[in-house]
Structure 1
Amino acid sequence: MSIDTASLALPRVVTEHARQFFIDGRWTEPSSSATLDVINPATETPVAAISLGTAADVDAAVAAAKRAFDTFSQTSVEERIALLERVVAAYEDRMDEIAMAVMLEMGAPISVARQRQAPAGLGHFKTTLAALKAFSFEQTMGTTTLRHEPIGVAGLITPWNWPLNQSALKIAPALAVGCTIVLKPSEVAPLSSIVLASILEDAGVPAGVFNLVQGDGPTVGAALSEHPDIDIISFTGSNRAGADVARRAADTFKRVSQEMGGKSANIVLDDADLETVLMRDVAKMYVNSGQSCNAGTRILVPRDRMDEAAAIAARYVDQLVVGPPADEATNVGPLVSEIQFDRVQELIESGIAAGATLVTGGTGRPEGLSTGFYVRPTVFADASNDMRIAREEIFGPVLTIIGYDDEAEAVEIANDSDYGLAGMVSSADHDRARQVARRMRTGMVHINGASANPAAPFGGYKKSGNGREGGEHGMREFLEVKSLFGDLS
């Protein structure tokens, strides 16, 4: 059932401020008249236009954040707890606006936008609030005091696939420890960040503590990365962009925390209930149209059960409803952009050409959907780990099933990746699954379908990045440690 079409309009705050930035506590006009259309991926037509920031806009935002840091860094823990509590309350009042903005900007089905995308950001503010209440900013070592102090002005660069999740993962801990912020969201999905800025404004975040500058990576992202008054860059995005950010940040010796791609392996051991495990985990993989960096896109099964695994996966995928995001029945919406659509099509073609078995799906749009960046949910079987569909992050509704002969080979295949963000392992013997999990070279492993703990660190090994987000570990990314020797007090 579709939602009321009258409610498909953008939130009023977005229409009012789409061509403005939030700097020093107020909505301001940009320094340039350049704009960029935000394309609704379901219709391929503009839903709004944002202003494109320049280095001058970044300078203004950073100057405001630097001024505000002198005061905000000295606030008490109690004051920052009260601030985060107001943010949580203001966020809860605006959930529908957030969900609508996310649906229109990046094509998330309305059910996903309401039940997953919007709540994800709220959850991180709540988790950080709990971590702040428990965190000790000072520790005693004899006559030495260790003080954890805010690092300074934080430049935050966030992606389009989980816009509220990724922004909250950075904003919440930065505010919690006393840092000030300049946020550059993805220009592909920038509208929900306007709602978020309004939420922070309503919550009474002091002027200059949070600043929003829209724009592209080569201009605004580069200016943030190179800026001498930015003390930390927290980046989530592609490896290409992450490497560029790190290079640009090097000359000013600022801290760089990165969370990048993934090609997570899901090991189904030979004693697992194949039907139960695959129906559970295949469903998780297709959430958000497969556009999640930690999705279990490589499923590893015993080679002699490949045909059975492929049939189970196809049975689930073939009942998915691909369609307009505004329809409550839709499971899989469009991909975020034409660029992403073309990339996924090319990778599906590569899998076919490499000799993987196309179980279901394939190239082209689903039947009846001639407009919109829709991709046919696809399953490949009999793949080898050297194929592009097994090595590259597809970021779409494409699953690759790989066979193995024994447990040792399964672990070897799982670890044979440039990435190391997440992993999954299932077994009828929980201790066996635990032992396999300990051998997987990833920052996170889900054992027997366990959900992620939002208070636990989120991040990975190798090309998946070098930072950790969430809970106490997320706060530590924005802290420096000072030793006070001979502090007899």
Structure 2
Amino acid sequence: MQQLASFLSGVWQSGRGRERTIHHAISGEALWSVTSEGLDMAAARRYAITHGGEALHAMTFIERAAMLKAVAKHLLSLKETFYALSAQTGATKADSWVDIEGGIGTLFTYASLGSRELPDDTLWPEDELIPLSKEGGFAARHVLTSKSGVAVHINAFNFPCWGMLEKLAPTWLAGMPAIIKPATATAQVTQAMVKAIVESGLVPDGAISLICGGAGDLLDHLDSQDVVTFTGSASTGQTLRVHPNIVANAIPFTMEADSLNCCVLGEDVTPEQPEFALFIREVVREMTAKAGQKCTAIRRIIVPQHQIDAVSQALIARLEKVVVGDPAQEGVKMGSLVNSEQRADVQEKVDQLVAAGCQVRLGGKADLQAAGAFYPPTLLFCPQPDETPAVHATEAFGPVATLMPYRHADHAMQLARAGGGSLAGTLVTADPALARQFISGAARAHGRIQILNEESAKESTGHGSPLPQLVHGGPGRAGGGEELGGLRAVKHYMQRTAIQGSPTMLAAIGKQWVRGATVQEDRVHPFRKYFEELQPGDSLLTPRRTLTEADIVNFACLSGDHFYAHMDKIGAAESIFWRAGGTRLLPDFRCRRAVC
């Protein structure tokens, strides 16, 4: 058994004190010992800020995006190493693909977003000029700048790679260093990826740190320039949210917690429709992927009361075919839970649901003495969801979901909201009006909702898949936080400041010319300057000239731009940008001054 080291203050180091053991999820073999006791968390934070923070602040957004891309390519070349370690956690190859290559894909996405949409600067002008005076001499603009602290990421056990990378990407793009604190149960997978990043030399010294074990007194040393994110159980997150130092210093705290996500079968769907089969497939996939250990997994199956038997029979038929076992063996479709402690927790929660009035229709019992942390796909039925609050509050974090009936569309929305806030929800329907009604009534309790039907199913990414372009988070029990969502995520690690002044001053600060700012002219035509020589406000004032159709044709031949609105009289006449009914191919405005 090896000790799992942490990477703090630029060196690999091991703690000394009470240790926890990481076991192989399938065999039960003891693999790693973990402790962070005795490690200097205050020094680790200072090092990350003074080394990693300063280096990242000096890089432009474009340079940071290039760094993300380089890291992603490097990790992709080493993916088989991560797959081998991921197998120790009970994950199938498909489960590991989502975690490993899905996480790397998120790095690529943010690299692309940064290089395409952010300025080649360290300061980000967020909006257009906001006039504040009658004559235009006083205006404002919001800008985003990097915080001077460190981002502390406390992550869950179920996605040791994706969970780290989906936070690292916007953190680094924003110019902040990160301290990663993975869940101990799967920390060996995270450590391998961090080690690969460190050894690559692709990121500045101090840009990434790793704590294997407890966070110790790290939160005591943070201040208002730091950021804390948490992914995990709602109860743990609620405890961290009210940490005295976080409260006292108003430290930004983003929480993404497990939730009682639902999948709703529309009233319009019958067993003969393709949407019915899609519903069954979606529920079974979300129950069994990662052995149900997903914060977005479907926990509540909400169907019309007259469809209960048909849905129950179809689900049982599909779930009985799921082969549970060692993912290394051919034919296995679902692996184990992460460890025996998690198996015991799932069994306890299932027993609580049964005691509250739910009925077991499939599974429901595991051999708690077996070496492998296996738990069977389990389908429960709650006949009275309005009178059973436990079914909307108790989550068995495994391959477990509860079937429940609804009477009408409003009742379905009421049940969907009863979870107290969810990360994700799905409505399966072929009726656009029903979809609109559901969104109007249920969206306020969800971070993301998928409308699934035959038309979208072929290309759907699925109920449980967070995408880097879309927000990931939810209200209430789901944590009230927000991750991903494209460039929205980057802003969580930056400070927004409203800057007031003259347009000329605002142009200088943002390195972007704005209307009302002064311009400068010289004898060199702007088109004859190299890109590096151009400055915001460089201007060229030309004599008035009436453009003719011959000018347009000549320019098109010179430039190769034969776009129809420029060259075709009929197309131009029909365009809203051109003088209605006219025959000229010219817009109804004049431009004599070009400003860079």
Length-normalised TM-score, structure 1: 0.89
Aligned partner (choices 140, 143, 149) of residue 147 of structure 1: 143
Q: Structure 1: how far apart are the matches of 2:4 and 2:345?
A: 30
Query: Which residue does the alignment assign to 1:20?
Result: 5
Query: Which residue does the alignment assign to 1:97?
Result: 81
Cα displacement (A) at 1:266: 1.0
Any idea what the Cα deviations from partners look like across 1:300-333, whole Å, max 9, x if unmatched? 1110111111001101100001001322422221
Are 1:480 and 2:478 matched, yes or no? no
Q: Is the 8 A contact 2:4 2:188 kept in 1?
A: no
Gaps of 5+ in 1: 1-9
SS in 2 for 1:435: helix
Q: Is the 8 A contact 1:111 1:328 kept in 2?
A: no
Q: Is the 8 A contact 2:349 2:395 kept in 1?
A: no
RMSD, aligned α-carbons: 2.1
Aligned partner (choices 182, 206, 212) of residue 214 of structure 1: 212
Aligned partner (choices 266, 271, 280) of residue 269 of structure 1: 266
Q: Structure 1: how far apart are the matches of 2:286 and 2:44?
A: 39
AA in 1 matched with 2:222? P
Cα displacement (A) at 1:94: 1.4
AA in 1 matched with 2:265? V
Any idea what the Cα deviations from partners look like across 1:191-214, whole Å, max 9, x if unmatched? 111122123221521111111111
Q: Structure 2: how far apart are the matches of 1:166 and 1:328?
A: 28
Gaps of 5+ in 2: 131-138, 270-274, 509-596
Number of residues of Structure 1 aligned to a counterpart in Structure 2: 464
AA in 1 matched with 2:108? K
AA in 2 matched with 1:147? V
User: What are the equivalent positions in structure 2 for 1:139-178 lying under 5 Å apart?
Assistant: 139=126, 140-142=128-130, 143-151=139-147, 152-178=149-175
Query: Which residue does the alignment assign to 2:345?
Result: 343
Q: Structure 2: how far apart are the matches of 1:148 and 1:305?
A: 52
Cα displacement (A) at 1:71: 3.1
Query: Which residue does the alignment assign to 1:4?
Result: none
Query: Which residue does the alignment assign to 2:251?
Result: 254
Cα distance 1:383–1:324, how it changes in 2: closer, same or farther (>3 A)?
Answer: farther
Cα displacement (A) at 1:290: 0.5
Q: Structure 2: how far apart are the matches of 1:47 and 1:62?
A: 29
Any idea what the Cα deviations from partners look like across 1:353-405, whole Å, max 9, x if unmatched? 34433221121239xx9321111111112443325344312111111110011
Moved >4 Å (runs of 4+): none
Q: Is the 8 A contact 2:55 2:204 kept in 1?
A: no
Query: Which residue does the alignment assign to 1:60?
Result: 43
Are 1:81 and 2:65 matched, yes or no? yes
Any idea what the Cα deviations from partners look like across 1:138-191, whole Å, max 9, x if unmatched? 144244342211223111100101111111111111011100111111111101
SS in 1 for 2:401: strand
Cα displacement (A) at 1:466: 2.4
Q: Structure 1: how far apart are the matches of 2:332 and 2:489?
A: 34
Are 1:49 and 2:33 matched, yes or no? yes
Are 1:373 and 2:373 matched, yes or no? yes
Q: Structure 2: how far apart are the matches of 1:328 and 1:116?
A: 20
User: What are the equivalent positions in structure 2 for 1:55-454 lying under 5 Å apart?
Assistant: 56-68=39-51, 69-104=53-88, 106-113=89-96, 115-133=97-115, 134-135=117-118, 137-139=124-126, 140-142=128-130, 143-151=139-147, 152-201=149-198, 202-216=200-214, 220=215, 223-229=217-223, 231-248=226-243, 249-272=246-269, 273-365=275-367, 370-385=370-385, 386=388, 388-440=390-442, 441-448=445-452, 450-451=460-461, 452=465, 453-454=467-468
Q: Is the 8 A contact 1:279 1:312 kept in 2?
A: no
Q: Structure 2: how far apart are the matches of 1:203 and 1:285?
A: 40
Any idea what the Cα deviations from partners look like across 1:25-72, whole Å, max 9, x if unmatched? 4x3223535433211121222122233244x43222201111021332
Length-normalised TM-score, structure 2: 0.74
Q: Structure 2: how far apart are the matches of 1:200 and 1:438?
A: 44
Query: Which residue does the alignment assign to 1:469?
Result: 483
Cα distance 1:328–1:419, how it changes in 2: closer, same or farther (>3 A)?
Answer: farther
Q: Which has the higher contact order (CA 8 A, sep 6+)?
A: 1
Q: Is the 8 A contact 1:150 1:480 kept in 2?
A: yes
Cα distance 1:85–1:252, how it changes in 2: closer, same or farther (>3 A)?
Answer: same
Q: Structure 1: how far apart are the matches of 2:43 and 2:306?
A: 62
Cα distance 1:318–1:372, how it changes in 2: closer, same or farther (>3 A)?
Answer: same
Cα distance 1:276–1:352, how it changes in 2: closer, same or farther (>3 A)?
Answer: same
